[in-house]
A and B are shown apart, each in its own frame.
Chain A
Amino acid sequence: MRKNLLENIDFDTAKKIADEYPALSKKDMDRMFSASMKKSKKLSVEGESREKIFNSAIAKAVDESFEDVQLLKIEKYKKPVISRYIGIAASLGIIVAGIATMGILLGRNSDMSDSSVIEPATQFTVELPTEAYTYSHDYKAVAYRITDEYFNMDRYIYTGGFEYKESNGLPPADSEIVIHYIKDGVDGVKSYYPVIDEKFPDMEAFKAYYYFYRKDGYTVNADMETYSDNIFGGNITDEDINSPETIGEKLYAEDGIFYEYININGKLYMLEYPIVEGIEGISKLKWVSEPVISDITEDSFTITRVFNSVEDTTMTDVTVAFEIVWDETAQDWRAASETITW
């Protein structure tokens, strides 16, 4: 009842309740008022000071025309909604593939190396676990085994999309960069897309932006805590920013969303991590429905199951449909693909 009473409260109802049933004490209100005034003054002073420093940093870092300088204005890029969903599905696939590959490599006791290979690619390769299991036609048991494993793995879940070069909601296949890497025993891939934010038209702009904040005397994480927009987070250093090859593995934060940037031949590419699940120690998703079996044929069937957050009561149900096929080589059922409906 609590959740539903409060759900989507509209401005009229909120004002009516606030007027007729005020709950904050005079003491609470005085405290918040004084905090608001202090913040307001601080923001006004900092706003003026930051503008001056920013202009100065831009002038020094970019020896370009006035129009080019304008490109560095800090503006928020609005992501196409569809790209968010595509990003989710594609990213989940990549991560599952990474973990599956880890399992195979561990099984073969192969020798892992720390080498990384960068090669261009034109499309995603989505793979799912192909480990062998005991032959079974007990669809329900297969469904539990496959779906339960889905949430028992430590992995990243990307719940956001990428900022694409094209604005039609699809990634530009010819400009996508796929990095194959081995890290902490996991063989995986990451797909980066060309940065199109006006504030980062190229590496020089990225540097100018970076130096602007460095000169402002803020530590990167303090910036992330203090301001919700357009600030550096993570641990980018002067050394990273001047590296001719890469600034990969370093993060920039905006609105609590993390971006990883990589510099390839002077062009800035990025990958987005809105929420990190599993690795950060949270496994707060759970199945909230029984698996439903459908579309049974001789060598395939479909499992549909719904998950939700363990703690976040505002999250809506998410449905995953797994296409299960019979693997002749492994002599077992395996998930061939998954479709997530958010």
Chain B
Amino acid sequence: MLKKEKKKAEYARKIFDEYCNYVYIIVLNKIKSCGTKEDIEECVSDVFAEIFRNTDKIIDFEGDLKCYIGTVAKRRAIDTYRRLSSHSGRVQPLDDGIISETASAEDIEKSYETASRNALILDKIKSLGEPDTTIIIKQFYYNMKVAEIAKAISMTAASVQKRSLRAREKLKAMLVEADITL
């Protein structure tokens, strides 16, 4: 019995280490407009609490774990977004980010287009070169402040700010060239 519990805890940690940043990005993407850092962290904890409750099933899960965890994260983030929106009084856009129970052909095509577009944008960001790539990713995908980024990559805040501005200009030009308008 204890051995089983230990195995479950170890597996939970493994899952967490593998998917924590992933869940964080999904949650952040949904609730950044109305949630604080604490709200995001709490929502991430809620997602993993739900996943850990199902560790038994996940151990034997043969499907795409990334999609399963992503879906749990997205649903929980939408719940959190609604709760925070209703408390703060922000108007909630209808059907925003709500995952359809059944995807239509149009939805699938749209998802494919979005994924292709996102992949292309990420490639362009990568082509900026370091440290600009890291700065842009931390700033836009992790919503980190200039001071936090500066600390993380051992640069001054002013340098990060300057690099970020230049990198954004460069990125914008690259995306326009690739026919992507932001």
Interface residues on A, range: 35 or more
Q: B26 near A255 (CB under 8 angstroms)?
A: no
From residue 131 to 182 of chain B, which have CB atoms closer than 8 A to chain A?
A: 133-134, 137-142, 144, 152, 168, 171-172, 182
User: Looking at the complex, which one of A21, A40, A274 makes contact with B86 (CB distance below 8 Å)?
Assistant: A274
Q: With the chains together, A255 CA to B84 CA distance in Å?
A: 10
A1-B182, A18-B25, A314-B33 known; A32+B91 contact, CB < 8 A = no
What is the number of residues of chain B that contact chain A, defined by CB distance less than 8 Å?
Answer: 70
Q: A10 near B118 (CB under 8 angstroms)?
A: yes
A39-B45, A84-B94 known; A33+B53 contact, CB < 8 A = no
> What residues of B have a CB within 8 angstroms of the CB of A21 in the complex?
133-134, 137-138, 141
Q: With the chains together, A22 CA to B42 CA distance in Å?
A: 19
Q: With the chains together, A155 CA to B3 CA distance in Å?
A: 60
Closest to A17 in B: B141
The minimal Cβ–Cβ distance linking B162 to chain A, given in whole angstroms, is: 17
Q: A23 near B48 (CB under 8 angstroms)?
A: no
From residue 64 to 120 of chain B, which have CB atoms closer than 8 A to chain A?
A: 66-67, 70, 79-80, 82-97, 111, 114-115, 118-119
User: Looking at the complex, which one of A23, A44, A280, A309 makes contact with B142 (CB distance below 8 Å)?
Assistant: A23
Q: B115 near A10 (CB under 8 angstroms)?
A: yes
> What residues of A have a CB within 8 angstroms of the CB of B28 in the complex?
6
> What residues of A have a CB within 8 angstroms of the CB of B172 in the complex?
1
Q: A282 near B53 (CB under 8 angstroms)?
A: no
The minimal Cβ–Cβ distance linking A311 to chain B, given in whole angstroms, is: 6
Q: B25 near A10 (CB under 8 angstroms)?
A: no
Q: A39 near B46 (CB under 8 angstroms)?
A: yes
User: Looking at the complex, which one of B17, B34, B96 makes contact with A29 (CB distance below 8 Å)?
Assistant: B17
Q: 0/1 per residue, A1-45, Cβ < 8 Å to B?
A: 110111011111111111101111000110111011101100110
Q: With the chains together, A2 CA to B127 CA distance in Å?
A: 18
Q: B48 near A9 (CB under 8 angstroms)?
A: no
Query: Is the CB of A228 closer than 8 A to any CB of chain B?
Result: yes
Query: Is the CB of B36 closer than 8 A to any CB of chain A?
Result: no
A23-B21, A84-B94 known; A13+B83 contact, CB < 8 A = no
* Contacts between the two chains (Cβ within 8 Å), count: 189
From residue 148 to 171 of chain A, which have CB atoms closer than 8 A to chain B?
A: 157, 159
The minimal Cβ–Cβ distance linking B4 to chain A, given in whole angstroms, is: 15
The minimal Cβ–Cβ distance linking B169 to chain A, given in whole angstroms, is: 10
Q: B86 near A18 (CB under 8 angstroms)?
A: no
Q: A277 near B89 (CB under 8 angstroms)?
A: yes
Q: A33 near B13 (CB under 8 angstroms)?
A: yes
> What residues of B have a CB within 8 angstroms of the CB of A23 in the complex?
21, 24, 137-138, 142, 144, 152
Q: B48 near A13 (CB under 8 angstroms)?
A: no
A6-B32, A228-B79 known; A312+B93 contact, CB < 8 A = yes
Query: Is the CB of B22 closer than 8 A to any CB of chain A?
Result: yes
Q: B34 near A13 (CB under 8 angstroms)?
A: no
Query: Is the CB of B121 closer than 8 A to any CB of chain A?
Result: yes
Q: A9 near B45 (CB under 8 angstroms)?
A: no
Q: B52 near A10 (CB under 8 angstroms)?
A: no
Closest to A5 in B: B140
Q: With the chains together, A313 CA to B96 CA distance in Å?
A: 12
Query: Is the CB of A81 closer than 8 A to any CB of chain B?
Result: yes
Q: With the chains together, A254 CA to B84 CA distance in Å?
A: 13
Q: With the chains together, A39 CA to B52 CA distance in Å?
A: 9
Given contacts A9-B141, A18-B20, 20 further A-B contacts (CB under 8 A): A6-B32, A12-B119, A13-B115, A18-B21, A18-B25, A23-B24, A23-B144, A23-B152, A24-B20, A29-B16, A29-B17, A32-B48, A36-B47, A40-B53, A81-B95, A84-B94, A85-B94, A256-B82, A275-B91, A309-B91
29 contacts between A and B (CB under 8 A): A8-B97, A9-B26, A11-B67, A13-B118, A13-B122, A14-B22, A15-B66, A17-B122, A17-B137, A18-B21, A18-B24, A22-B21, A24-B21, A29-B16, A29-B20, A32-B16, A32-B45, A35-B42, A36-B46, A36-B47, A159-B91, A159-B92, A256-B84, A257-B82, A274-B86, A284-B90, A312-B91, A313-B33, A315-B96
Complex A-B, nearest 5 residue pairs according to Cβ-Cβ distance, in ascending order:
A282-B89, A39-B49, A36-B48, A18-B21, A256-B86
Residues of A with Cβ closer than 8 Å to B? 1-2, 4-6, 8-19, 21-24, 28-29, 31-33, 35-37, 39-40, 43-44, 47, 81, 84-85, 157, 159, 228, 255-258, 274-277, 280-282, 284-285, 309, 311-316, 342
Residues of B with Cβ closer than 8 Å to A? 9, 12-13, 16-17, 19-22, 24-26, 28-29, 32-34, 41-42, 44-50, 52-53, 66-67, 70, 79-80, 82-97, 111, 114-115, 118-119, 121-122, 133-134, 137-142, 144, 152, 168, 171-172, 182
